[in-house]
Chains A and B, each alone.
Chain A
Amino acid sequence: MLTSEKPKLKGKRNRLDKPELLAPAGNLEKLKFAIHYGADAVYIGGQKYGLRSNADNFSFEEMREGVEFAKKYGAKVFVATNIYAHNEDIEGIEEYLRNLYDAGISAIIAADPAIIETAQRVVPGLEVHVSTQQSIMNWQTVKYWKEEGAPRVVLARETSLEEIYEMKQHVDIEIEAFIHGAMCSSYSGRCVLSNHFTDRDSNRGGCCQSCRWKYDLFEDGRADLDELISEKEAGQDSVLEQFKVGITQLPLFQKEDNPFSMGSKDLCMIEHLPDLIEVGVDSFKIEGRMKSIHYVATVVNVYRQVIDSYMADPDNYVLKPEWIEEINKAANRPLNTGFFYDTPDHEDHIYEPEEKAAPYDFAGLVMDYDAETGIATIQQRNHFKPGQIVEFFGPNGTFFKQTIEEIWDESGAPLDAARHPLQRVRIKVQEPVQYFDMMRKKNGK
């Protein structure tokens, strides 16, 4: 990889102090975790115009609360208004954008020029970031959006490190790039598999991830498309039968082969962040508005440490193995580096049956800690019981493993397990913890 072999491409970053760490927040609680664990900004979805119609999206009231929370940390809240609108979506855009601005939202992420232009006209104080759905792949197009008044573009996931370098050479604009999470294997926005398979409109948030379904690959046995059989011939069973199995449908797989798939491995740039920092990327984006609190907190926590560590002393920066271990605890798919260094090949797609669950999950949230007794109050987030090994982690360096000994309820009565969602229980912890630290356990144990 370029990281070690070549001198780094150095481009100019617009955000001079540090690149921004931008995290997804599927709901208000996730927003709080993302920010507390180190995100400089979060992006959320509102009730309309977003591409995750199945997520529990934010009301304006929740947005206000999210913005208030973010302010305390000096963080910003962006809203994804990234659909390609249809005629019937046009009415209401102005009002919606005004409401976003009034709620304190800093920027929208938009793909459709109808939304971009409206925002610029109606709420000039609201920044417009041009979405990855616009498939921005070259510096002229970056320049176009700059001239149209956009302070930031989100690049297509197909862009390489060298291409980003060239964009930075040509255009003075903030560049946002995805560094972690699931990827469309198509150009984003250029896939209507969902529309064709299930009548769900992918570009308005209805994507059903047909790219991850299983397919068989065949070739057409007909020598020449000009030699079509006539309708009369097609009506004869014998001809049709021969046509189907022998001539038109030659399988390009053996019985024991894995099926064809378009499904991509997930993006993970943890080992190469210095390359992206040096090339001048202004904002590092983590994918996953549908992902769990545990996922968001874990991934944000690690990238926060990587960015801070590198920026504090680039020359002596060392990638810590425990960062990679941490990332893997939240991963539910194999990882790769996307298009940054080369075009993905057979090792970058998932042909084997997919693991659905991440290896670890959120078990409890630390609500309180008594330093004298070493007892923590934990809000239950998943079943746990005495004897189980758990890990505590937090944004301020909390990280340790321990076996759970006794569990008490709030009145001090012993429990054989913490089995009720959101129940507050007490346990003895081996190191100090604080509010917002998380307790995780291995799945299935």
Chain B
Amino acid sequence: MTKKPELLVTAGSLEQLQKYMQAGADAVLVGEQKYGMRLPGDMTLAHIREAVQRGKEAGVKIYVAVNNIMDNQVLHELPAYLTALQEAGVDAIVYGDPSVLMTVREAAPQLPLHWNAEMTSTNYKTATYWAKRGAKRVVLARELNMDQVLEMKEQLPNMEVEVQVHGMTNIYHSKRNLVKSYMSHQNVRNHDAVEVHGEDLTIDRGLFLIEQERQEEKYPIYEDINGTHIMSSDDICMLENIHELLEGRIDSLKIECLLKSDRYNETIIRSYRLAIDAYTADPENYEFQPEWLEAVQEVQDPERELSYGFFYKEQVY
């Protein structure tokens, strides 16, 4: 049997954690928006401690996202937070901003580190740079193609490589409150007060943008304390081609659960679980089963395309 790669999912509550572990997740990424970016929900330290307990019992790893672009204000709270995460026994934290690395060195040197700079984790040399500074895993940018992804692993035999295989991706992050600003602008033009009152601009509202020349594509948009986030109009789905990543010995395959229902995510996790288990049990005779994908298609929002992301695309510049 080959080494089993990890099936990683994101979760926003203990309830989701429970459901997704049961559906077959090997690892769960959680956190709170004050420190981590674009999470399906806020998990307080108490919840994270509980999550670690449940993870240990189930043999599931718990990672915590501390991957915000940090400002001076939050630095004061970072040492205590990281110390608490270390004491809670989380399996790793995910970081992008070097301030987290600085604080870990001082306050929580035992914390395993995953480096994730989102769009900018794009080459093995930079991954090696962060490995030398303590990162044991690199989370790849979703804008890489399959050749680049596989080359990363070839070049990084001693570093774990994580890649997203399913769900939406962030395509734009601003510190500005762009939806609120737009609504204020509309108010002003209609001679109302400038202030935007009572508008829910959070991830729960279901806001989306349509670019005027691309009427078929819906781009979810929301605001939180970290600014404005715009998400892809399609969902990556690498289920059919998961064997390429498994053959390439990618260490962790991530399902992004953000902005999806629990039921949807459980279905997705189960399908990937089946595919990964089938492959690892017998790589040579592995055969993709159409019903795995059919289960996904059944719960997929018909207005959101299941795509291969950038895995088989050529980009220019």
Contact = CB atoms under 8 A, between A and B. Distances in A.
Q: Do A and B bind each other?
A: yes
Interface of A: 53, 84-90, 111-114, 117-118, 133, 135, 137-141, 143-145, 156, 158, 163, 166-167, 185-187, 189-193, 195-197, 199-206, 210-211, 213-222, 224-226, 228-231, 234, 240, 248, 252-254, 257-262, 264, 339, 343-346, 348-349, 351
Given A87-B155, A186-B172, A253-B186, A345 B316 contact: no
B123 interface: yes
Nearest to A184: B174
Contacts of A257: 186, 189
A87 B124 contact: yes
A120 B99 CA distance: 21
B302 A345 contact: no
B261 A226 contact: yes
Contacts of B141: 84
Given A85-B125, A90-B123, A217-B207, A166 B72 contact: yes
A248 B303 contact: yes
B18 interface: no
Most A CB within 10 A of own CB, among B78, B97, B125, B314: B125
B312 to A, nearest CB: 12
B208 A220 contact: yes
A345 B175 CA distance: 11
B159 to A, nearest CB: 14
Contact of B185 (A141, A189, A349): A349
Interface of B: 69-72, 74-75, 78, 97-99, 101-103, 118-120, 122-126, 129-130, 141, 143-144, 148, 151-152, 155, 171-186, 188-189, 194, 205-214, 218, 221, 230, 232-233, 259-264, 297-299, 301-303, 310, 313-317
Nearest to A345: B181
B185 A200 contact: no
28 contacts: A84-B122, A85-B122, A85-B123, A85-B126, A135-B97, A137-B69, A140-B98, A141-B70, A144-B98, A158-B175, A186-B174, A187-B173, A190-B119, A196-B171, A197-B211, A200-B317, A201-B317, A215-B211, A219-B205, A219-B207, A226-B262, A228-B264, A252-B207, A253-B186, A254-B186, A258-B185, A260-B182, A346-B181
Most B CB within 10 A of own CB, among A213, A240, A260, A344: A260
A206 B211 CA distance: 19
B207 A218 contact: yes
B182 A199 contact: no
Contacts of B78: 140
B71 A137 contact: yes
A230 to B, nearest CB: 7
A190 B123 contact: no
A157 to B, nearest CB: 9
B99 A138 contact: yes
B119 A344 contact: no
B178 to A, nearest CB: 6
B98 A53 contact: no
Given A53-B317, A201-B316, A87 B148 contact: yes
A348 B69 CA distance: 22
In the complex, the 4 A-B pairs of residues with the closest C-beta atoms, listed nearest first: A220-B206, A206-B317, A140-B99, A346-B184
A102 to B, nearest CB: 23
A264 B175 CA distance: 12
B82 to A, nearest CB: 12
Nearest to A214: B212
B297 to A, nearest CB: 7
Contacts of A192: 119, 143, 171-172
Nearest to B234: A196
Most B CB within 10 A of own CB, among A87, A192, A218: A192
A361 to B, nearest CB: 30
Contacts of A217: 179, 182, 207-209, 221
Nearest to A234: B302
Nearest to B121: A84
Nearest to A223: B206
A215 B212 contact: yes
A140 B260 contact: no
B102 A143 contact: yes
B81 to A, nearest CB: 14
A46 to B, nearest CB: 15
A193 B230 CA distance: 9
Contacts of A156: 69
A139 B177 contact: no
B212 A259 contact: yes
A177 B172 CA distance: 23
Contact of B99 (A141, A163, A200, A221): A141
Contacts of A113: 126, 129-130
A263 to B, nearest CB: 10
Given A138-B97, A228-B301, A351 B182 contact: yes
Given A141-B70, A215-B209, A351 B172 contact: no
B97 A141 contact: yes
A193 to B, nearest CB: 5
Contacts of A190: 69, 118-120, 172-173
A349 B188 CA distance: 13
Contact of A262 (B119, B178, B261): B178
A112 to B, nearest CB: 6
A195 B124 contact: no
B316 A193 contact: no
Contacts of A186: 172-174
Contacts of A349: 176, 178, 181-182, 185
A346 B173 CA distance: 17
A224 B212 CA distance: 27
Contact of A343 (B125, B177, B210, B260): B177
B29 to A, nearest CB: 19
Contact of A258 (B189, B210, B262): B189
B36 to A, nearest CB: 15
B98 A145 contact: yes
Contacts of A230: 298
Contacts of B98: 140-141, 144-145
Nearest to B144: A86
A191 B171 contact: yes
Contacts of B194: 346
A231 B297 contact: yes
Contacts of A86: 122-123, 144, 148
A346 B317 contact: no
A26 B230 CA distance: 32
A259 B213 CA distance: 13
